[in-house]
Amino acid sequence: MNMGNSKVWTLVLLLAVLAGVVYYYMAGLQRRSGIFFENEDQSVPVEITIKDPEFHLVAPDHLKYKQPSLVQGRSDVVTVTPWLAPVVWEGTFDPSLLDSVYRLKNISVAVTVFAVGKYTRFLPDFLKTAEQHFFLGFRVRLYVFTDQPDKVPKVSMAKGRQVMVRLVPISKRWQEISARRMELIQTLIEAELQSNTDYIFCLDVDSKFHGRWGTESLGSLVAVIHPGYYTTPRTGLPYERRPQSRAYVAHGEGDFYYCGGAFGGILQEVYLLAKTCRTNFEADAKDGIEAAWQEESHLNRFMWINKPSKVLSPEYLWQDFKAITPEIHIIRFSGVTKNYADIRPN
């Protein structure tokens, strides 16, 4: 073997190794894209499992439920957004079908609720009615953030459901309570929920459940349409309109006006929302500006850019003082009418 020959052999060897690497990579790509795993027969076990709670809806075989229709259903309301997120109204979903799907996933749901100062008076009704209507039969943890843990009532809860009390220092200004909510949600997700929770909802305490709030509300990023503005033209929506604020939504822009009193989704999405709203709220404060409706304004700015993957109709946060309109077939959750002079600190 002379020098020329050995160079040729080295080249051939290198090419062979390269071809092997390319083949291995392509096969991997194909495997990841699922091509090798397509199978028509669900009874043949597949090699991959999908862990994300949001995707891959598996229904138990032989589950009996009403046949879905393409030509009948709610026609008095819009049930999908222009970015194709469902808008949840009574009559658009099958509760037992959805419960069966999510039961197989054994999901766990966290709720945050703040009861600072005089707002502890809302806790008994909030917690009692949550136990009657919120994710019945599922694992639920209700995190109560309060400055007076002794005022948290002992509510008897079903198996797998519990109230967790977290101490927060009393805030000087009420606007601060708003700002701190996002901060505390952010740290709760970071420090406690990541390992044991799939979904989180953040709710106002001055409200009660009156009807089912369950698996139909689950999504990556979930927003609730404010009951006061769902027929209002864009120009009349109370977004923050000053460009100096980080909550700014320009005239002629905005989809819906969403509630600050109820939002949720998977942990990662709500974490990003809380972090973004908090950072923007604090940066605004440094510049001496406070958005028109505090964190609700920041939430609306966030949802304008980050479109919610599921939108809940005003059934999911009504207001007790509002007369019911024909499109509302059920009130699930509603804000209690409160005497502001009586409960607000300043």
Which residues would be at the binding site for ligand 5GW (CB under 6 A)?
A: 114-117, 119, 174, 177, 204-206, 261, 335, 344-345
Verify whether residue 296 is a known catalytic residue: yes
Rounded to a whole number of angstroms, the minimum distance from the CB of residue 89 to Mn ion is 22
3-state secondary structure the chain: CCHHHHHHHHHHHHHHHHHHHHHHHHHHHHHHCCHHHCCCCCCCCCCCCCCCCCCCCCCCCCCCCCCCCCCCCCCCCCCECCCCCEEECCCCCCHHHHHHHHHHHCCEEEEEEEECHHHHHHHHHHHHHHHHHECCCCEEEEEEEECCHHHCCCCCCCCCEEEEEEECCCCCCHHHHHHHHHHHHHHHHHHHHCCCCCEEEEECCCEEECCCECHHHCCCEEEEECCCCCCCCHHHCCCECCCCCCCECCCCCCCCCEEEEEEEEEHHHHHHHHHHHHHHHHHHHHCCCCCCCHHHHHHHHHHHHCCCCEEECHHHCEECCCCCCCCCCCCCEEECCCCHHHHCCC
Kindly tell me which of 171 and 306 has the beta carbon lying closer to ligand 5GW. Answer: 171
Least distance (Å) between residue 305 CB and Mn ion: 24
31 binds, among Mn ion, ligand 5GW, none (CB under 5 to 8 A by kind): none
Query: By C-beta, is 251 or 344 nearer to ligand 5GW?
Result: 344
Name the residue nearer to Mn ion (CB basis): 128 or 329. Answer: 128
State the residue number with the nearest CB to Mn ion.
Answer: 204
Identified binder of Mn ion from the candidate list 214, 261, 264, 308, rule CB under 5 A: 261
- Residues 279-318 binding Mn ion (CB under 5 A) are none
Residue 174 binds which of Mn ion, ligand 5GW, none (CB < 5-8 A, kind-dependent): ligand 5GW
Residue with Cβ nearer ligand 5GW (114 or 302): 114
Of 290, 296, 315, 327, the active-site residue reads 296
204 binds Mn ion (CB under 5 A): yes
Q: Can you tell me which of 90, 131, 198, 206 binds Mn ion, judged by CB under 5 A? A: 206
Give the catalytic positions in this structure.
296
Q: Name the site residues for Mn ion (rule: CB under 5 A).
A: 204, 206, 261
